[in-house]
A and B are shown apart, each in its own frame.
Chain A
Amino acid sequence: MSEAVISLAALPPGQRGRVQSGEDGHPAVPRLLALGLLPGTEITVVRVAPLGDPIEVEFRGMRLSLRKADAAAVRVEPFAAR
């Protein structure tokens, strides 16, 4: 059921996706990897901050907030909408 691969910043709130890859050389990528956001990890965008940025995501039972500029370094494959 694979759809187009999109940036994590573009994943709408409430939707799940699976991480495909991270942008090489982006400073957020090693940190996200250390936190366990790996290729293959499932991730959900929980909410967008009231002012439009940052976003809050959930993966591995953990909640994390990150800016869209950093989320853009992560490519995800969205699951088909439930």
Chain B
Amino acid sequence: MSRPDSRPLRIALVGNPNTGKTTLFNRLTGSHQKIGNYPGVTVEKKYGAWHPGGRAATLVDLPGAYSLAASSPDERVALDFLTGHLAGEARPDAVICVVDASNIVRNLFLASQVADLGLPLVIALNMSDAAERAGIHIDAALLARHLGVPVVRTVATRGEGSGALEKAVLRAVDGRLLMAQVRWPEAVERAVHYLAAGLEKEGVAPLEPGELRRILFDHRSAVLERAGWPPEADPQPLLSAARDILSAAGLQPVPAEALLRYEHLGHVTADAVRFPEKRHRTRTERIDAVLTHRVWGLLIFALLMFLVFQSIYAWAGPVMELIEVAVAAVQERVAPWLAAWPAVQSLVVDGLVGGVGGVLVFLPQILVLFFFIALLEDTGYMARGAFLMDKMFGWCGLNGKSFVPMLSSYACAVPGILAARTIEDPRARLTTVLVSPLMSCSARLPVYTLMIGAFIEPSHGAVVAGAVLFAAHLLGLVVAVPVAWSLNKFVLRTRTQPFLLEMPPYRRPRLRDILWRLWERAREFLVRAGTVILAMTVIIWALVYFPRPPEVRERTVAALSASNDPSAVEHAVEAAYLEQSFLARAGRAVQPVFAPAGFDWKITVGVLASFPAREVIIATLGTIYGIGREVDAGSGDLRTALGRDLWTHGHRAGKPVFTVPVALAVMVFFALCLQCGATVAVMAKEANWGWAMFGFVYMTLLAWLGAVLTYQLGTRWLG
């Protein structure tokens, strides 16, 4: 029944991590969702339309949190949202707290904090089937009576309990049902009054008692700042004085809240929850004995990661080739229609179709990787992997969960950076995002193959060639470790966040959930990063294509009038146009910067042209050397052309442009440089544009330094 006055209800979904909150959200809202970021933080904002009992409602999925102490950005967004301090967000009408039935008391801790803020509440007792199996029996009706709010049994993965939840939420909203609260000791009440008086003196608007308790109990509550505490005033004397009231009454201020709430929850759950008499050795413990074993655990982990890595190559590779073939076919079909307008033809064929293809080509890798990540997370293995690897990564500011993003980045940094979302600690997440592009992705391989094939293998043999290829792949990882360490030491400089990771019981993953997440990731990538990538492709296209004076063609054709090979003439015309394009002009202007690395203007143009996508270097060099664009890294023509190229002027005139040190310098540059518009776009979406630019600048500087060092030392030692 809809009412005449009904504006859409605002219902927030809160809960501990790993309670199936997001699955419930997906079940309730279906595909009617909007995903974005809260302004200024990399915390995901998810909205969905929901219709409990036919009424219009907006369901907001808040980030998973264990408490409202707001020590992480996720918790802070949750707290600000619930207290109505988040810009542009009204307070919710009611809150659904998703509770893992197997861990009910701990989960109700968050619920009781939420309820303390004066919000009507419904408890969704999720995964109650798993709890029953573990011997934990919960009398939901009795619990509801003790708590004073509806308790609804749900199994989100099967959609059970959705109908009951709808009715319960409407009941909670209409009856403003509040959860039974802790009976606060008199000292707490006094401390709260004292705080309220002190805040009033500083001109802070009156706060709810629940908000005042947050300020009292939390080390430095976000409520204080958002409620209008003057930033120049130090709140510490006021806070200390209020907490001294607790101490004087024998309550330790730090654990006071947790002790009082857990005591209260212990009482209300005492007769409603029955725990198993004796815990038997569970399946999870038996599996853990193997998977976290010092030999088998590490071995299985290595094998699993190898499998993931291989799959990104082996499964995604053919599909990516298919996409490339399809894009080429579309380009070929479209080109003749627009032959009358060469500029439009080039824009559509090279800029738009090429750009769309350049976005789509990432999808297979993203899907394969996220399939594995969803599998690792949903089974509970991800936490074990992080447990095994944390020691290796923790010391330089990363953590155990950085492993998957960094390994994936060896295939491609785009899915790798997206995978960094699995890291809860914001600092470790940012560090992972910033160093992942250093891993040698598959797009660098053509550059290595070209340089090694042309200049190393012929003179030094296959063994050295193989070693150089391996070294090129290792370089990024070797550089990433000190980079991560310095980032934490000198740039981020925040205190190490505690690394607390719940080790959930192993669960059987559900294909439906996994597919849902794949769809979510794919859609998000296409919409958010895809548009940026496409725009960049078009801009770079224009820089390469323009200007286009007809004299260039006439001059080139006239010079080659003797030639009767029309395709050779076309290649020469393209080369001539490229040589005077905006990009090439920039290349010539910038060349002195790259001179210490031994690069001539052609390599410099290749480097500049490769900033949107490093593999473009091959096609660009193909065009510059007049061989045509359809060359690949194995092309004999291109190798020969590079080998024959001589300096035309300067002190090296007459000497070959490409020597072993130059080839190595090119490889080092490509290994370390962030030449990938897609990666920059994804970094911007996952962190922000500032950090994306920071990543771009530091990697470019590092690449330049590496190339110069390689060339200078190389010419000295190798001649």
Q: Give residues in A with beta carbon < 8 Å to B.
A: 22, 24-25, 27-36, 38-39, 47, 49-54, 56, 60-67, 69-70
Q: How far is the CA of A25 from the CA of B297 in the complex (A)?
A: 35
Contact A56 B292 (CB under 8 A): yes
Contact A49 B387 (CB under 8 A): yes
Contact B500 A32 (CB under 8 A): yes
Choose, from B120-128, B147-155, B317-325, B389-397, the stretch at the interface: B389-397
Contact B500 A31 (CB under 8 A): yes
Contact A54 B255 (CB under 8 A): no
Chain B residues whose CB sits within 8 angstroms of the CB of A65 once the complex forms: 383, 386-387, 390, 499-501, 503
With contacts A35-B106, A36-B262, A62-B106 taken as known, whether A30 is within 8 angstroms of B500 at the C-beta atoms is no
Q: What are 29 A-B interface contacts by the 8 Å CB criterion?
A: A22-B254, A28-B500, A30-B71, A30-B219, A30-B254, A31-B500, A32-B500, A33-B258, A34-B258, A36-B106, A39-B255, A50-B388, A54-B387, A54-B391, A54-B499, A54-B501, A56-B292, A56-B503, A61-B103, A61-B279, A62-B103, A62-B502, A64-B501, A65-B387, A65-B499, A67-B390, A67-B499, A69-B496, A70-B499
Name B255's contact: one of A38, A61, A69 (CB within 8 Å): A38
With contacts A50-B293, A65-B387 taken as known, whether A36 is within 8 angstroms of B498 at the C-beta atoms is no
With contacts A30-B219, A67-B394 taken as known, whether A36 is within 8 angstroms of B109 at the C-beta atoms is yes
Contact with A along B288-299 (1 / 0, CB 8 A): 100011110110
Contact with A along B229-264 (1 / 0, CB 8 A): 000000000000000000000001011011100100
List 18 extra interface pairs beyond A27-B495, A49-B387, CB under 8 A. A24-B254, A27-B497, A27-B498, A30-B69, A30-B71, A33-B258, A35-B500, A39-B255, A51-B388, A54-B499, A60-B106, A61-B279, A63-B503, A63-B504, A64-B500, A65-B501, A65-B503, A66-B498
Chain A residues whose CB sits within 8 angstroms of the CB of B292 once the complex forms: 47, 49-50, 56
Chain A residues whose CB sits within 8 angstroms of the CB of B129 once the complex forms: none
Contact with A along B305-325 (1 / 0, CB 8 A): 000000000000000000000
Name A27's contact: one of B66, B71, B279, B298 (CB within 8 Å): B71
**Taking the complex as formed, is B166 at the interface, i.e. its CB lies under 8 A from any CB of chain A?**
no
With contacts A22-B254, A22-B255, A61-B279 taken as known, whether A30 is within 8 angstroms of B502 at the C-beta atoms is no
Contact A63 B502 (CB under 8 A): yes
Contact B255 A33 (CB under 8 A): yes
Chain A residues whose CB sits within 8 angstroms of the CB of B584 once the complex forms: none
Q: Which residue of B lies closest to A34 (CB)?
A: B67
Q: How far is the CA of A62 from the CA of B66 in the complex (A)?
A: 13
Q: Which residue of A lies closest to B285 (CB)?
A: A46
With contacts A50-B388, A52-B391 taken as known, whether A36 is within 8 angstroms of B105 at the C-beta atoms is yes
Q: How far is the CA of A28 from the CA of B106 in the complex (A)?
A: 17
**Taking the complex as formed, is B694 at the interface, i.e. its CB lies under 8 A from any CB of chain A?**
no
Name A30's contact: one of B106, B110, B218, B504 (CB within 8 Å): B218
Q: How far is the CA of A64 from the CA of B297 in the complex (A)?
A: 18
Count residues on chain B whose CB falls below 8 Å from chain A CBs: 47
Contact B498 A67 (CB under 8 A): yes
Contact A38 B71 (CB under 8 A): no
Q: Shortest 7 CB-CB distances between A and B: which pairs?
A: A34-B67, A28-B498, A51-B391, A33-B258, A50-B294, A63-B503, A70-B498
Q: How far is the CA of A25 from the CA of B498 in the complex (A)?
A: 12
Q: How far is the CA of A35 from the CA of B294 in the complex (A)?
A: 28
Chain B residues whose CB sits within 8 angstroms of the CB of A35 once the complex forms: 66, 106, 500
Chain B residues whose CB sits within 8 angstroms of the CB of A64 once the complex forms: 500-503
Chain B residues whose CB sits within 8 angstroms of the CB of A39 once the complex forms: 252, 255, 259
Contact A70 B500 (CB under 8 A): yes
Q: Which residue of B lies closest to A63 (CB)?
A: B503
Q: How far is the CA of A51 from the CA of B392 in the complex (A)?
A: 8
Residues from 342 to 366 in B contacting A, C-beta threshold 8 Å: none
Q: How far is the CA of A24 from the CA of B254 in the complex (A)?
A: 7
Q: Which residue of B lies closest to A27 (CB)?
A: B498
Q: Which residue of A lies closest to B257 (CB)?
A: A33
Q: How far is the CA of A47 from the CA of B103 in the complex (A)?
A: 21
**Taking the complex as formed, is B546 at the interface, i.e. its CB lies under 8 A from any CB of chain A?**
no
Contact A31 B298 (CB under 8 A): no
Contact B69 A34 (CB under 8 A): yes
- Tell me, rounded to whole Å, the shortest Cβ–Cβ distance linking B608 to chain A: 44
Contact B262 A49 (CB under 8 A): no
Q: Which residue of B lies closest to A50 (CB)?
A: B294
Q: Which residue, B102, B383, B496, B500, has most C-beta atoms of chain A within 10 A?
A: B500
- Tell me, rounded to whole Å, the shortest Cβ–Cβ distance linking A40 to chain B: 8
Q: How far is the CA of A62 from the CA of B284 in the complex (A)?
A: 12
Contact with A along B182-195 (1 / 0, CB 8 A): 00000000000000
**Taking the complex as formed, is B38 at the interface, i.e. its CB lies under 8 A from any CB of chain A?**
no
Q: How far is the CA of A28 from the CA of B71 in the complex (A)?
A: 10
**Taking the complex as formed, is B689 at the interface, i.e. its CB lies under 8 A from any CB of chain A?**
no
With contacts A34-B66, A34-B109, A50-B298 taken as known, whether A66 is within 8 angstroms of B499 at the C-beta atoms is yes
Contact A38 B254 (CB under 8 A): no
Q: How far is the CA of A53 from the CA of B275 in the complex (A)?
A: 32
Chain A residues whose CB sits within 8 angstroms of the CB of B500 once the complex forms: 28, 31-32, 35, 64-66, 70
Contact A38 B259 (CB under 8 A): yes
Chain A residues whose CB sits within 8 angstroms of the CB of B383 once the complex forms: 65
Contact B391 A49 (CB under 8 A): yes
Contact B391 A60 (CB under 8 A): no
Q: Which residue of A lies closest to B65 (CB)?
A: A34
Residues from 53 to 109 in B contacting A, C-beta threshold 8 Å: 66-67, 69, 71, 102-103, 105-106, 109
Q: Which residue of A lies closest to B298 (CB)?
A: A50
Q: Which residue of B lies closest to A69 (CB)?
A: B496
Chain A residues whose CB sits within 8 angstroms of the CB of B386 once the complex forms: 65
Q: How far is the CA of A36 from the CA of B502 in the complex (A)?
A: 13
Chain A residues whose CB sits within 8 angstroms of the CB of B102 once the complex forms: 61
- Tell me, rounded to whole Å, the shortest Cβ–Cβ distance linking A22 to chain B: 7
Q: How far is the CA of A24 from the CA of B391 in the complex (A)?
A: 25
Q: Which residue of B lies closest to A33 (CB)?
A: B258
- Tell me, rounded to whole Å, the shortest Cβ–Cβ distance linking B426 to chain A: 13
Chain B residues whose CB sits within 8 angstroms of the CB of A47 once the complex forms: 288, 292
Q: How far is the CA of A66 from the CA of B394 in the complex (A)?
A: 12
Q: How far is the CA of A60 from the CA of B503 in the complex (A)?
A: 13
- Tell me, rounded to whole Å, the shortest Cβ–Cβ distance linking A77 to chain B: 16
Name B67's contact: one of A30, A52, A66 (CB within 8 Å): A30
Q: How far is the CA of A66 from the CA of B503 in the complex (A)?
A: 10
